Amino acid sequence: MSMVLFDDVKFSDCNKNKKPKTRFNFVLMSILFSANHGTYAACIALATARLGDIGARQSGTWYLAYAASSLFGSTYVVQSLGVRDALILGMWVNCVYVGYFMAAASNPEIAGNGVGAMVAAAIGGFGGGFVWTAQGSYFGRASEEYARESLTSIERANAYFAWIFASIYLAEEVILKLLSTVLIKALNISWF
């Protein structure tokens, strides 16, 4: 007997003794990655409204660091650390930007002349640049492993995982952006 998961993606009887964790791990990575992305994307969207000119420069700095990291350092970081560790580090490094934004948004004096904002944005952008490279590598490896576990083609496994990732990613990004609007405007909740 086999269980149908996605059209012809099946776990066969011959694999019933092997407990596949690939799909669970991929869903967990998708949830964490999407939450991380949605959080810093919401901060970038709010930066100019909350921090004015400093917020605009902070967003620009984040994107410049992101582009530089993506073009010139991401492959090296992923190859040096490994896919999983690069994903973890990239998400933590993004948290530097989010943490600074939270602090500066709740107390504008923290933003000061903007130097701290630019440094935090550069650090966060650097992490954002290589986290996408790591995610792509993780996706490819997970799809290959899942294809072996479920005895299906790599194309079917890629399509299945693309569906999982896109659904979680888009849902979390929209929810986090809407949540920032609802908490600030509709419920009249202050920043912190």
- Where residue 184 falls among pLDDT bands split at 50, 70, 90? confident
The set of residues, in sequence order, having a beta carbon less than 8 Å from that of 19 and lying 6+ positions away, is none
Summary mean pLDDT of the chain: 84
Work out the angle at residue 94's Cα, subtended by the Cα atoms of residues 90 and 99, and round it to the nearest 5 degrees. Answer: 145
Name the nearest CA neighbour of 164 among 39, 37, 29. 29
Residue pLDDT, tens place only, 13-37? 445 545 578 999 999 999 999 998 8
CA distance 6 to 160: 7
Residue pLDDT, tens place only, 33-57? 999 888 888 888 888 888 888 888 9
Residue pLDDT, tens place only, 154-174? 999 999 999 999 999 999 888
Residue pLDDT, tens place only, 109-167? 877 778 888 999 999 999 999 999 999 999 999 999 999 998 999 999 999 999 999 99
